[in-house]
Structure formats: structure tokens, C-alpha cells
Amino acid sequence: MSKLFNFNKVLCLSPHPDDVEYSMSGTIIKNYDTQFDILCLTQGGDCDETTSDSRLKEVCNSWESTGVNNVNLFFSPNKFLKEKGEDEWVNYIETNYFIPDTAGYTYDCILLPSSYDSHFEHKAVSAFGWPLTRVKGISLIEYYTPSTLEEWIPNTFIDISEVYETKLKMLKQFTSQQHRSYFTRKTLDGFHTSFQCSKKGYEIVEKFNLKQAFIQ
């Protein structure tokens, strides 16, 4: 059995199509006994010329290329994040997704970007975390993105060496983003390395900050 911190079911908030896939898909592939619900909040960034429903198809294609069966994809009806205020987004997520499934499971954890992020929409989504975990014992974890600032300090590293090639293959499905510098192989390799990890034998990692943990 392979679960992320023994979680049965987690919710991953993705500000844009590709954020979760770029930042933590190796962790999802590796922990195949945890159900990951990915909620894509927009069709792309504000003022992003690639924003369209084709971006959502890229998300679907990327996961289909992996063959995993522990991922559920959800897409909000909003094209841009600014179409709702923070309180409206929190209410939307709670109303539509904080519902026990047929097995009786609700979310054990929420994963989302950090407030230490230079992308204003990533930073905005990070503010949803504490309100969404204000009542129940839900863990809260931040994931590392290409725009995360150096002030952010990860405290959790997950080795994805065994699934890294699968992740690289799935990221090629984001055809609208291949021209961006952070989709080059050199940048991807750098994104997934850490000196402290490599000297301990962990060459390819995804980085997280565990903000609040309720682990059974």
C-alpha cells in the first residue's frame, strides 16, 4: 500500500491548468492508494493569451498518459480567478466538494500554492487554505511552483526518481506551454533537485511545506 501520509482522500487546488501537474504529479503517481481530487480553478492566467478550454483538455490528456486511476479532475466554471472574491471561492469549494463520498470519506488534506509566490493568482489561492481548514481536522500542505519565492522554505521532500520519466512524459501534453522556459528539460531537472536531498541520496524530489498535520 502506498499512501501520502496515510491520507485516504485529498484535495489539490490548482490556480491554473498545469500547476498541480508541474508541482506534484510525481507524488500523486507514486502514492496510488490515496485518492487525489484536483480542482482546477480557472482556464488559465489573467492576461494569459493561452487561456481557453483547450488548457483543460491538456490537463485531461496529461493524466490519461500516465494510466493512473487515483485522480479525479474537476473544473470550476470560471475562466479567471478574479471572477469570485476569496469568500465566494471558499464557499464554492466547501459547498461543492466538501461532501462525503460513497465510502464516507471527506478530505484529509488540502494542497495548494504558498503565499510566498510571485504569481498573484497563486498567492490569492494560498489564502483559501486556513478558511477551508478552520473547523475540521484537515491537514494543510503547500506545494512548490516555478514562481515560488526563495523566502519559502520546504520542510518535506518526496523522492520521485522512479516516476520522473512518467512525469516528464505527462508534462509534454501541455503543448500550449512548451515554449515557456520552465518547461525545458534543464529547468525541470533543476526544479526537482535539492543539494540537501542529493547529498543524502535523493536525486529527484518534489518539495512541500507541511503547515498543519492531522495524521492517523
Question: Which cell numbers hold the place of 213?
Answer: 498535520
For residue 48, is it within any domain?
yes
For residue 1, is it within any domain?
no
Kindly report, residue by residue over 67-95, the tens digit of the pLDDT: 999 999 999 999 999 999 999 999 999 99
Contact 40, 3 (CB under 8 A): no
Q: What is the mean pLDDT of residues 48-53?
A: 77
Domains: count for the chain = 1
Task: Classify 31 as helix, strand or coil.
Answer: coil
For 94, phi then psi, to 5°, come to -65, -45
Which of 150-168 are b and which e, b meaning 16 or more Cβ less than 10 Å from the residue's Cβ? Answer: eebebebbbbbeebbebbe
Instruction: Find all residues with CB under 8 Å of 18, minimum gap 6, and list them.
Output: 55, 58, 59, 62, 171, 174, 177
| Cα distance between residue 5 and residue 163, in whole Å | 18
For residue 4, is it within any domain?
no
The bridge status of strand 139-143 relative to strand 71-75 is unpaired
pTM more than 0.75? yes
| Cα distance between residue 142 and residue 91, in whole Å | 20
For residue 99, is it within any domain?
yes
Kindly report, residue by residue over 92-116, the tens digit of the pLDDT: 999 999 988 776 778 999 999 999 9
For residue 59, is it within any domain?
yes
Domain span holding position 129? 9-212
User: Which is nearest to 9 in space by CA: 38, 35, 39?
Assistant: 35
What is the reported pLDDT for 47?
67
| Cα distance between residue 136 and residue 138, in whole Å | 6
Instruction: Give the model's confidence band at 60: pLDDT under 50 very low, under 70 low, under 90 confident, else very high.
Output: very high
For 162, phi then psi, to 5°, come to -70, -20
CATH code of the domain containing 130? 3.40.50.10320
For residue 113, is it within any domain?
yes
Instruction: Give the model's confidence band at 46: pLDDT under 50 very low, under 70 low, under 90 confident, else very high.
Output: low
For residue 28, is it within any domain?
yes
For residue 67, is it within any domain?
yes
